[in-house]
């Protein structure tokens, strides 16, 4: 399997809902490799609807999140026009695959790796 190289031109905003508290730093490091601004919500804050903002990508780790939290996140994501990705697994590998797929899709035309003819 060919791994996508992190885009270095585009700063995407990503919101991660769910996951494990102990993985927050890992999620942030992975997003940093893809030049993404990231917010991670492993617990439901009182005003989550207002805190999500308008991300480019909303990642829902469905195995580790409450139904209410998913509902609020989806509502905010649809309102802002974010692409929503569901993942049952909340592992670092799962997040890497999601960002890799997102990078190699919609944003590739602007990516320096794409423009230089490199394989993602």
Task: Give the global pTM.
Answer: 0.79
In the chain, the number of structural domains is 1
Cα 52 to Cα 54: distance, rounded to the nearest angstrom: 7
Residues of the domain holding 72: 12-115
pLDDT of residue 57: 94
| Residue 39 parent element (H or E) | strand 36-41
Given a contact cutoff of 8 angstroms between Cβ atoms, the answer to whether 46 and 89 are in contact is no
DSSP 8-state symbol, 3: P
Phi, psi (rounded to 5 degrees) for 95: -65, -40
Query: Per the domain annotation, does 25 fall within a domain?
Result: yes
Can you list the residues of the chain whose pLDDT is less than 70? 1-10, 104-120
Task: Count Cα neighbours of 60 within 13 Å in the Cβ-side half-sphere.
Answer: 21
Q: What is the pLDDT of residues 85-117, one digit of tens each?
A: 999 999 999 999 999 888 765 545 455 444 433
User: What's the rounded Cα separation, in Å, for the pair 89 and 33?
Assistant: 20
Which CATH number fits the domain that encloses residue 72? 3.40.50.10700
Does residue 4 lie within any of the structural domains?
A: no
**Which pLDDT score, from 0 to 100, does residue 4 have?**
46
In a domain, 1, yes or no: no
């Amino acid at each position: 399997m060919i791994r996508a190289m992190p885009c270095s031109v585009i700063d995407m905003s990503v919101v991660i809902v769910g996951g494990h508290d102990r993985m927050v730093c890992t999620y942030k490091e992975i997003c940093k490799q893809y030049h993404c601004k990231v917010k991670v919500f492993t617990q439901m804050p009182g005003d989550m609807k207002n805190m999500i903002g308008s991300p480019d990508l909303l990642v829902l780790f469905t195995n580790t999140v409450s139904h209410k939290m998913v509902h609020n996140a989806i509502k905010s994501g649809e309102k802002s026009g974010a692409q929503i990705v569901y993942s049952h697994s909340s592992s670092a590998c799962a997040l890497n695959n999601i960002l890799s797929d997102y990078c190699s899709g919609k944003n590739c035309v602007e990516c320096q790796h794409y423009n230089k003819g490199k394989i993602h």
